[in-house]
Amino acid sequence: MTPEVFFDQLENHLSKELPLVVYRKPMKSGLRALLQNTDALYEVKNFKESGFVFAPFDSQSRKVLIQYSEVLELASYSPKKFEPEVRLNIDTEDVGNKDHHLRLVQNAVTSIKQGHLKKVVLSRVLKGHATRKPLSLFQRLLALYSNAFCYLFYHPKVGLWLGATPEILLQVRNNRLTTMSLAGTKPYVNGQEPEWGEKEILEQKYVTEYIEEALENEISELNSGSLESARSGKLWHLRTKISGKIENQNLEGVLEKLHPTPAVCGLPKLESKDFILENEGYDRQFYTGYLGELNMKQEKMRSSRRANQENQVYRSINRFTELFVNLRCMQLVKDQALIYVGGGITAGSDPENEWDETVLKSKTMSSIL
């Protein structure tokens, strides 16, 4: 299949207002699209289902499932390079928005110093004008962010979302679970390694410790790697890889403990979540939720050598799950782009610096408009 045919089929499916998701995994060149042939709205109930899950920040809200009837695959795709533009129609310096965010951060710092919270992740939404078609925006994402999970998700009863996220929530293959703690943000400067301050290191430490404690009774053989810098496009983050063995395929229990992680919510989790819902002033919807392949089938061809027999080839069917945190994303509503950005707040946070961090992060998505 050629790229032209691949994207023409996706455009045709979108024109019929039928659900689909198209995505590329980090550091891969191939594209995969899952197409649903009705506009029915399916939901994940117990994580025994199979398909593509699109879950919101609020774990009490419905988790949407694409139950696909057709799969399109493009073995390799080289997106056309382009020079990102500085968009002047994004409200990164909107005075009212900024005043609200500065007060929000200061209130969070006060709450942390009073001992009510250890950390909280606060976000805001920016509005921009989308002049390009959704699939064109997706292709521009692919060109800019080769080391992120890039996707376009559409359901007529949910909306249209695009994103390029650097953060894995979890992977499960053959009962082996892998996740990561990701926190801290620095701009990428060509030829320079990032220098991390106490605020970023402490923020990342909180995330790592929370995940280790959350998984302690859910998985065995728990192991945490070393702290490392991980690049995502024009940004650096601090990362620790964590792995173990999941028992009895208890995916629902693991996700209940992990989501939302301190990297998108805060600590303690319930108190931070309450602070966000009561004070942010808008509905995050699917921003800082999670998305990805749930209990998908994977066939492997294996050879078996037996005495006095020729080599025999047989199929082994395994199931795997690979979920990503929905960061660096936007929602398209007609010709309006809603861009979601946020940052972690600790006792040492400065409101002006936190505002600047959200402006920096907004460039991930605003650069493709």
CB atoms under 10 Å from CB of 185, counted, come to 19
Overall pTM > 0.75: yes
* Other C-beta atoms lying within 10 Å of the C-beta of residue 189: 10
Beta-sheet pairing, 20-24 with 31-35: antiparallel
Rounded-to-integer distance, Cα 329 and Cα 365, Å:
7
Domains and CATH numbers, the chain: 3-80+92-298+313-366 (3.60.120.10)
User: pLDDT tens digits, the chain, 369 residues: what are they?
Assistant: 999 999 999 999 999 999 999 999 999 999 999 999 999 999 999 999 999 999 999 999 999 999 999 999 999 999 998 877 655 455 555 656 899 999 999 999 999 999 999 999 999 999 989 989 999 999 999 999 988 999 999 999 999 999 999 888 999 998 899 998 887 888 888 888 899 988 888 888 888 998 899 898 888 999 999 999 988 777 888 999 999 998 767 899 899 999 998 889 999 999 999 999 999 999 999 999 999 999 998 765 555 455 445 555 555 567 899 999 999 999 999 989 999 999 999 999 999 999 998 988 888 788 898
In whole angstroms, give the CA distance from residue 102 to residue 241.
33
What pLDDT is stored for residue 174 in this prediction?
84
Q: Show Cβ contacts of residue 4 under 8 Å, excluding neighbours closer than 6 positions.
A: none
Cα of 259 vs its chain's centroid, Å: 12
What is the per-residue pLDDT for 270? Answer: 93
In this structure, how many other beta carbons lie within 10 angstroms of the beta carbon of residue 256?
Answer: 13
Asked if 91 contacts 97 with a C-beta cutoff of 8 angstroms, the reply is yes
User: Are residues 122 and 108 in contact, defined by beta-carbon separation less than 8 angstroms?
Assistant: yes
Identity of the amino acid at 332 = L
Residue with tokens 């309006």: 336
The predicted pLDDT at position 48 comes to: 92
Which residue type does 119 have? Answer: K
